[in-house]
Every structure is written in structure tokens, then in C-alpha cells.
Amino acid sequence: MMETALPNFHFHDLHPEPEDFHSDVIAGLRQTPRQLSPKFFYDERGSQLFDAITRLPEYYPTRTEIDLLQRHGEDMADMLGNDGLLFELGSGSDTKIRVLLDALQPQTYAPIDISREPLRLSAGAIAGDHPELEVHAICTDYSKPLALPGVVAAKRRSAFFPGSSIGNFDPGQACDLLRRIANIIGPEGRLLIGVDLKKAPSRLHAAYNDSEGVTAQFNLNLLTRINRELDADFDLAAFRHEAFYNAQLGRIEMHLVATAPQRVRIDGCCFEFQAGESIHTENSYKFSVEEFQTLAAQAGMASLRVWQDDDALFSVHCLQPV
């Protein structure tokens, strides 16, 4: 591949366990209620579908966050500082980092993602377009403890964690993840993090039940991936997408609901589904500014600045370990 020949592009494959998918799926489907991790959505097709979601009229987070980065990029760059090392967690799409790189001039950009080929492509393209930037792409699962390659250890460090991906984690896990990020960036480091805000449930509902059914395809693609990679026989026509706002827990929940009783085989294991039984595939927590500041404080981070749009749809926080 041409990108790998670029002198400023380095790819560190930390080989996120391929067996994880197999055992996580089997273990998750054996639980009551059944569940699958949203980190598995992003195979090639899933990443394409997520990209399509970000362009939907109902899905406000991506365009609102990009607009915040465009409007306040200089302010953000002032908070993060130039010439250092910028990590990015879960860099599925490169649009946001490109906007940030227009304002910020880091010496090194180190995107971390579990999806190997999309990471290679987007990081390689950035290296090609920014010959002065050292790009160290790191293929690993950032939801697990990180052992980062030595080449990216030194220097003034900051991290960029856009998209409200933090909302995928339960509060306890989110706190652990923020703590790990704080350890990676160190006491002088800064974290720029996108956080989706609480708002009218109808607005949230529309964002996860789009009229074109793209979110439904994205959710159902998880079963397609299991069929292909784990030698399973899910009948996709027998599951439907469900997404709703759980106000008590402050989160959107996505489920795949069996529309009829059925039996599914996954690599020799048999699973029986009753009609109406669901597989919980994703949580997407929503925060007020104060709620997120409280969470950050529990992880040992202080919120130095918060940017939000005029309609209070989305926020970007700059955090620092305390």
C-alpha cells in the first residue's frame, strides 16, 4: 500500500485479540439480558454505515461537533498547545481531526483505533497530506489498558476523543477510561473530548430512529458480521432495530429484537430466542455540562473550558488531570 511507504507514517499493530470477538459474542449472548459490545459495530460495512449516519438530517452530533471545532479551533489550539503529541481515540473517520489540524500544529499525531484497515487508510491519508507531521497509527482496543509504543511516550501530550464515544461506556467504565487517558497524557496533558448533551427526548429519539433506516442497518450489520466471521446463521429478517431514550439512566439504548421464536447457531453453539427477546447492542449516555464535569472530577480531571452550540445540542470539554 502506498501510504505505508511515506517516511512520516508508522503503523503499530498491537494485535487486538481476534478471539475477543468470538468469546465476547458467545459470553454476551449467554447473559440475561443478552448483550453485545458496540465496539464490534465497526467492521468495513459498519464504518461505512456509521459514516452515512453522520450525514443524516436527524443525526445532529457530528455536524454540530465539527461546527464547534471550526468555530473555536483557535481557542482549542491555545488550550492544547502546539508542537506536542496528539493522540486520537477511535479515529474511525478523519474529518474532525482534519479540522483540528488546521488550527493545531502538533509534531506527532497518534490515532488509536481497533479497526485496522480504516485506521491505516485514514491515518495514511493524513500523513500524505501533512508531510511535516509524524503520524504513528496504533491499532489496539482503547477500552482495555494501554501499553503504548515507546516512540510515542515522550513529549508534551494531549488527546482528542471526539464523537461522544465516551457515552458508549457505563459511568464506572467511563470513569476508568478517563483515568487511563489522564495517565497517558500526564499531569500537564490536556484532553479535548466531545460530549453529547441532554435534550428533548423526541430529538434524541429521531437521531437514533432515522427515517431512512440507516441506523437500523448499522445495528443489524452486527449480526451480519457475526454470521460471516463466526460461522453463524442469524436470520436478519427475524430481528428488528429498536432505539429509545431511557430517561432514568440518561441514555439512548439500542437493541435488536427477535420478531419470532428462533434458534441460532454460532460456531456450534446453539441459542434460542423467544419472540420479543432483545439483544442490547449499545448505550449512548447523554450529559448535562455539570454531570460531565462531575464524572471528569471522579476520574481526577478538571474541566478547564467548555464549548457548546447555541442550541445546546453538543459540547466539547477541555480537561486536565488535577
Which runs of consecutive H residues, i.e. helices, occur in 146-252? Answer: 171-185, 201-208, 214-229
| Closest to ligand AVJ by CB, 90 or 124 | 90
| Closest to ligand AVJ by CB, 61 or 111 | 61
Determine if 168 is a binding residue for ligand AVJ (CB under 6 A): yes
Taking the complex as a whole, the smallest distance from the CB of residue 273 to ligand AVJ amounts, in Å, to: 22
Asked if 296 and 302 touch (Cβ cutoff 8 Å), the reply is: yes
Determine if 109 is a binding residue for ligand AVJ (CB under 6 A): no
Identify which range of 80-88, 159-167, 224-232, 287-295 contacts ligand AVJ by CB under 6 A.
Answer: 159-167
CA 301 to each of CA 125, 189, 240, 309, 320: distance values in angstroms, whole numbers, following the listed order: 33, 10, 40, 23, 5
Q: Which of 84, 111, 163, 321: binder of ligand AVJ (CB under 6 A)?
A: 163
Taking the complex as a whole, the smallest distance from the CB of residue 153 to ligand AVJ amounts, in Å, to: 28
**Amino acid identity at 315:** S
Region label for 21, one of left (φ > 0), alpha (ψ between -120 and 50) or beta (otherwise): alpha
Strand partners, 100: none
Identify which range of 26-34, 161-169, 262-270, 305-313 contacts ligand AVJ by CB under 6 A.
Answer: 161-169
Dist. CA 265–CA 25, nearest whole Å:
12
Q: Which residue has the closest beta carbon to ligand AVJ?
A: 284
Determine if 43 is a binding residue for ligand AVJ (CB under 6 A): no
Taking the complex as a whole, the smallest distance from the CB of residue 84 to ligand AVJ amounts, in Å, to: 26
Determine if 167 is a binding residue for ligand AVJ (CB under 6 A): yes
Q: Which helix (H) or strand (E) holds 302?
A: strand 301-308
Determine if 53 is a binding residue for ligand AVJ (CB under 6 A): yes
Dist. CA 257–CA 188, nearest whole Å:
46
Residue 286: how many other CB atoms lie within 10 Å: 21
Taking the complex as a whole, the smallest distance from the CB of residue 196 to ligand AVJ amounts, in Å, to: 7
236-245: list long-range contacts, CB under 8 Å, 24+ apart: 238/262, 239/279, 240/216, 241/209, 241/213, 241/215, 241/216, 242/278, 243/205, 243/208, 243/209, 243/215, 243/219, 244/205, 245/201, 245/204, 245/205
Whose CA is closest to 229, among 26, 47, 35, 51?
A: 26
Determine if 282 is a binding residue for ligand AVJ (CB under 6 A): yes
Size of the site for ligand AVJ (CB under 6 A): 11
Q: Which of 108, 115, 140, 284: binder of ligand AVJ (CB under 6 A)?
A: 284
Determine if 165 is a binding residue for ligand AVJ (CB under 6 A): yes
Identify which range of 93-101, 149-157, 162-170, 297-305 contacts ligand AVJ by CB under 6 A.
Answer: 162-170
Q: Which of 215, 217, 315, 320: binder of ligand AVJ (CB under 6 A)?
A: 215
Residues that bind ligand AVJ in the complex, under the rule CB under 6 A: 53, 61, 163-165, 167-168, 208, 215, 282, 284
